A and B are shown apart, each in its own frame.
Chain A
Amino acid sequence: MGDISMYQYDKYDQQMVDTRVAEFRDQVERRLAGELTEDQFKPLRLMNGLYLQLHAYMLRVAIPYGTLNSKQMRMLGHIARKYDRDYGHFTTRQNIQYNWIKLEDAPDILANLASVEMHAIQTSGNCIRNISSDQYAGAAADEIADPRPWAEILRQWSSFHPEFSYLPRKFKIAVIASDEDRAAMRLHDIGIQLVHKDGELGAKFFVGGGMGRTPMIAPEIRDFVPADELISYAEACLRVYNRYGRRDNKYKARIKILVHELGKEEYTRQVEEEFAHMKTLGLNPPVEELARITEYFADPAFDKDASDDLDLSDPDFNLWVDQNTVAHKQPGYAIATISLKPKSGIPGDASSAQIDLMADLAEQYSFDEMRVTHSQNIVLPHVKKSDLYALWQKLDEAGLAPANLDLITDSIACPGLDYCSLANARSIPLAQKISERFADLGRQRELGELKLKISGCINACGHHHAGHIGILGVDRKGTENYQLLLGGSAAEDTSLAKITGPGFDEDGVIDAIETVTDLYLKERQEDERFIDTYRRVGMAAFKEAIYG
């Protein structure tokens, strides 16, 4: 089993990714030789996470449920150094992407990844994408079980799925196991929450959530699916979608539209009918398979005598601990988040040197393990409290210790017009300017938890619908224009943000953010967060403050 508490490939898993590398190498050769047209090659490269962006190919590498070890992280740094421009970009789906890839290098990069049990399988295309999960899985004090074994079962089932590789549109699944939702679960095509029923662990299914042009919160369609029927239930959900999801309009092709148009009850009825049939087909791995996978995720060798005492006399360290660490299930340990949101930085970007350093620190202080969060940060899940100060000092030296987790400068931003061919406006420079305007940490802390999310177009890769404050970049008569949204949440109190009114230019939208945060400070009662005050006070007061 080794001493790493995460899944490790057996010979079958390794053979699958190795074969994929060979297959893709062949496809790239045929493309370069002109035997495949770009139209024919496109779906093949997309199933290997290779996009054609504005300036170059972008390669998206899967980090299943956001979990990776130091060896894998170092390989990500190596790829950034050797094949890209010395940096990588961690994404809202817990993956990493490289923006400057050459097509002819892609097969070698995939071979590098396969050597550390990684791949880029199904990180794009109209198929089941990388399964996402809670970044605190296996460490959180509030989870009822580790959701990752379930995510791994789903990863294997969905990999190279012959029936569901040409779906109407992409398909995203998230699995969580606590009431607090840190994975935007109900904004996924399928959201699964592990729950207990009569002492048995099973899955509650939510289907038909998503962001994009038509944001929807997934309704619950089944309160309990037993472990040994998980796959047949998922198959039933997918088959109804594959058969009846709209294919006439790509903007109406996601499952959320099907569920919405059929109605939750009718969609559920069709799934149940399909499920009754699917159950008879022997599609489910036995419970022994879940048990086999679960063993890999056994707790690391925690020091049972680790102390909860912490010397917080260094004020900067104190701030970081207060903001960037959360309770661990094991006494004497903490979960620490490395913020990739420094002042003037690009949200989610990390240099090769920083990637290497995070790998080293994980090896030294976190049982060799890291997580990528959907907020584009990195988590060290198992840090002994007595090591926190040494860890923080090393992070601080490398510019990796902004104490801004969940504060206004911990923003999510899509790549925007700097990279993306779909974008209408730039997201990154706006995020940078906001981080400068709100740079004062005292001010940020005064504002408290404030999720700011920026998308450069209505496809919503920057999750603006789910921001306490959201920003949507649009094109208005050839100039970049930014709409302001308020009131969204990707957490267990999932809600969709609403547009305040007419948009602004870049400086104008930052002024408007200041106006709404000022109003919040004036109106808040007791320990209300921004979102709480917004919900209590309502949009009108904020509109009035912005537009007069």
Chain B
Amino acid sequence: MVEAIRFRDDNVHEEPAVSLDAFLDQSNATAVRIEAGEDARLLLPLLDRLALIEIDFPVFGDGRGYSAAQILREAGYKGELRASGDVLVDQIAYMRRCGFDAFAPDAPIDAKVMKKALDLYDEVYQGTTDSRAPIWKLRHG
């Protein structure tokens, strides 16, 4: 079992994530896992019930999860947003920018390499849900 990586101060949510179908069918689950092709918008009416949303990356090149994460954060979701599956160190910085704050990679990630990757770029060109000010904003105050 590879250790999960978290960028949150709260405690790990213990309840296992259920599938999207199961979640939409039952009223008491607080954690859900969505697969790459599933529509994150189905969760929007139910966000305040959720403490954990796990988004799976079957292969790192499948970028649908980035949009799913953005959609959830744009809608105001504040709970844990976890990327699982083929999550590699070289994608984590972009995942952070799209709102992921926890990672459950299939293979271990070297903490030092990850820190370096996350600290690398001082600025960003575009706005996302991570609230960093894009360069155009720095230019124009």
Task: Spell out A's residues near B (CB within 8 Å).
Answer: 10, 12-13, 15-16, 19, 22-23, 26-27, 30, 40, 43-44, 126, 156-157, 159-168, 231, 239, 242-243, 247, 277, 281-283, 285-286, 288-289, 292
Contacts and interface: CB of A to CB of B under 8 A. Distances in A.
A168 B134 CA distance: 26
A161 B137 CA distance: 16
Interface centre among B39, B67, B93, B94 (most CB of A within 10 A): B67
A163 to B, nearest CB: 5
Interface in B22-63: 39, 60-63
A281 B135 contact: no
B66 A26 contact: no
A453 B125 CA distance: 37
Contacts of A15: 122-123
B66 A16 contact: no
A243 B67 contact: yes
Contacts of B66: 162-166, 242
B116 interface: yes
A156 B67 contact: no
Interface centre among B60, B113, B139 (most CB of A within 10 A): B139
Contacts of B64: 242-243, 247
Contacts of B127: 281-283
Contact of B60 (A10, A19, A43, A157): A43
Nearest to A125: B61
7 contacts: A12-B123, A15-B123, A16-B135, A40-B90, A156-B135, A165-B63, A286-B140
B82 interface: no
B119 to A, nearest CB: 10
A247 B60 CA distance: 13
Nearest to B64: A243
B121 A19 contact: yes
A243 B140 CA distance: 32
B121 A160 contact: yes
A126 B67 contact: no
A461 B60 CA distance: 27
A242 B90 contact: no
Contacts of B140: 285-286, 288-289, 292
Interface SS majority for chain B:
helix
A242 B125 contact: no
Interface residues of B, number: 38
Contacts of A16: 121, 123, 125, 135
A156 B61 contact: no
B88 interface: yes
B116 A162 contact: no
Nearest to B136: A285
Given A16-B123, A19-B121, A19-B122, A164 B63 contact: yes
A277 B126 CA distance: 17
A242 B63 contact: yes
A164 B95 CA distance: 11
A156 B134 CA distance: 10
Nearest to B68: A243
A163 B136 contact: no
Contacts of B90: 27, 40, 43-44
Nearest to B86: A40
B128 A162 contact: yes
B1 interface: no
Given A12-B123, A16-B121, A164-B66, 12 more contacts: A12-B135, A26-B116, A161-B126, A162-B98, A163-B67, A163-B94, A166-B61, A168-B63, A239-B67, A282-B127, A283-B126, A286-B136
B70 interface: yes
A43 B98 contact: no
B33 to A, nearest CB: 18
Contact of A126 (B61, B74, B134): B61
Contact of B120 (A23, A40, A289): A23
B138 to A, nearest CB: 7
Contacts of B62: 166, 247
Contacts of B68: 243
Contacts of B70: 163, 239
Contacts of A159: 125
A231 B67 CA distance: 16
B124 interface: yes
Nearest to B40: A243
B67 A160 contact: no
Interface centre among B67, B128, B136 (most CB of A within 10 A): B136
Interface in B72-109: 74, 88, 90-91, 93-95, 97-98
Contact of B94 (A22, A162, A283, A286): A162
B124 A22 contact: no
Contacts of A162: 66, 93-95, 97-98, 126, 128
A289 B127 CA distance: 14
A382 to B, nearest CB: 28
Contacts of A164: 63, 66
Given A16-B121, A160-B124, A166 B136 contact: no
Those 7 A-B pairs whose CB atoms lie nearest each other, nearest first? A166-B63, A162-B94, A162-B97, A285-B136, A12-B135, A163-B66, A289-B136
Nearest to B62: A247
B63 to A, nearest CB: 3
Nearest to A159: B125
A30 B110 CA distance: 12
A110 to B, nearest CB: 15
B123 A157 contact: no
B139 A289 contact: yes
Contacts of B123: 12, 15-16
Contacts of A40: 88, 90
B139 A10 contact: yes
A508 B125 CA distance: 52
Contact of A157 (B67, B94, B98, B126): B126
A281 to B, nearest CB: 6
